[in-house]
Amino acid sequence: MAAPGWLTPRRRSATARSVLAGEASAEAARKTALTAADPAPPGTEALPDAAPYPADLDSIDTADALDEVLDGLAEEAAESDEPEFPVPGDDLAAAFFDLDNTVMQGAAIFHFGRGLYKREFFRRRELARFAWQQAWFRLAGVEDPDHMQDARDSALSIVKGHKVSELMAIGEEIYDEYMAERIWPGTRALAQAHLDAGQKVWLVTAAPVETATIIARRLGLTGALGTVAESVDGVYTGRLVGEPLHGPAKAEAVRALAAAEDLDLARCAAYSDSHNDIPMLSLVGHPYAINPDTKLRKHARANDWRLRDYRTGRKAVKVGVPAAAGVGAIAGGTAAAIALHRRRK
């Protein structure tokens, strides 16, 4: 997206930069959005089957892990008595999904960097840097602003001077190579539920808006809000419009898009794994914590937000059981509790 130099003065306040980044992202998203009348784009991912319950009992070896399972079961059972959501035909509602570790395992910017290295956009030393950043992200399971900023700075320096069209074409290939098989089936099913209800579904991410748009299109979503890199005559300048779409900037982007689309945020839903996205989650009437980090899990519990965890292993287990299976889920939870008790004897 082209932007004159005066849009990105270095001394602009943090709040003003967030608003600018959000508005630029919303404008870019609307230009590339799919409409309900559009046919499914080539390469659209088929919806994989959601992971079934029960979770692997061998992964439930701590009281904390069991608590997470039972929290999820109680949430699912309670929902069987709640009104249908999303509400079919509610065109004043939409859904906003964070990307990294919410829709997709890992960070899109790191996978993109890996693909660019394969195409000799940069050297081995820079690949090692991307690999370390990705490893840190996967182990920590949270978005650290300093690490994410470092990754974006690296990416901007790499794409400077390249054509936007060139990077878009390469992005399609990189999605197939490194991202397609990292989509969480559970989160994908949540997005599909909103689409089936006739609502628009948007990705909201700090990844470049071009990369985010490719992912959204391949998943059959409406479009994407992402970081907007400045371009002149279709060539990247190596600068951003405003700032990375992270934290408060995401909330500004959602607010700007909702205003442009005449959405009622109180009827909208938002999904994220990170406490950095609490500003965005707090904007909507239906916030969800997906694969949440520790801070977001605590915040969600304190504010009665819904939780979903589609990860496996000791830190978290699969909890995404359909509400209709509430009775069976409680039975599964009881079995898990018994198994844990027996191992402790």
The one-letter amino acid code at 102 reads T
Q: Do the Cβ atoms of 74 and 247 come closer than 8 Å?
A: no
Alpha carbon separation from 181 to 175, 300, 311 (Å, rounded):
9, 28, 15
Q: What's the CA gap between 106 and 279, in Å, rounded?
A: 22
Q: Do the Cβ atoms of 272 and 98 come closer than 8 Å?
A: yes
Q: Do the Cβ atoms of 21 and 246 come closer than 8 Å?
A: no
Q: Do the Cβ atoms of 217 and 194 come closer than 8 Å?
A: no
Phi/psi zone of residue 265: left (φ > 0), alpha (ψ -120 to 50 degrees), beta?
alpha
Identify the active-site residue in 81, 98, 146, 196.
98
Q: What's the CA gap between 308 and 236, in Å, rounded?
A: 38
* 100 catalytic per annotation: yes
* 196 catalytic per annotation: no
Backbone dihedral angles phi then psi of residue 279, each to the nearest 5 degrees = -60, -40
Those residues with Cβ within 8 angstroms of residue 243's Cβ, 6 or more apart along the chain or in another chain: 14, 17, 18, 20, 21, 249
Residue 28: exposure state from Cβ atoms within 10 A (0-12, 13-18, ≥19): buried
Determine if the peptide bond prior to 39 is cis (ω within 30°): no
Q: What's the CA gap between 241 and 230, in Å, rounded?
A: 6
Expressed in percent and rounded to 5, the helix, strand and coil fractions of the chain are 50, 15, 35
Q: Do the Cβ atoms of 116 and 158 come closer than 8 Å?
A: yes
Q: Do the Cβ atoms of 296 and 276 come closer than 8 Å?
A: no
Identify the active-site residue in 100, 273, 293, 309.
100
Q: What's the CA gap between 169 and 164, in Å, rounded?
A: 9
Where in the sequence numbering do the catalytic residues fall?
98, 100
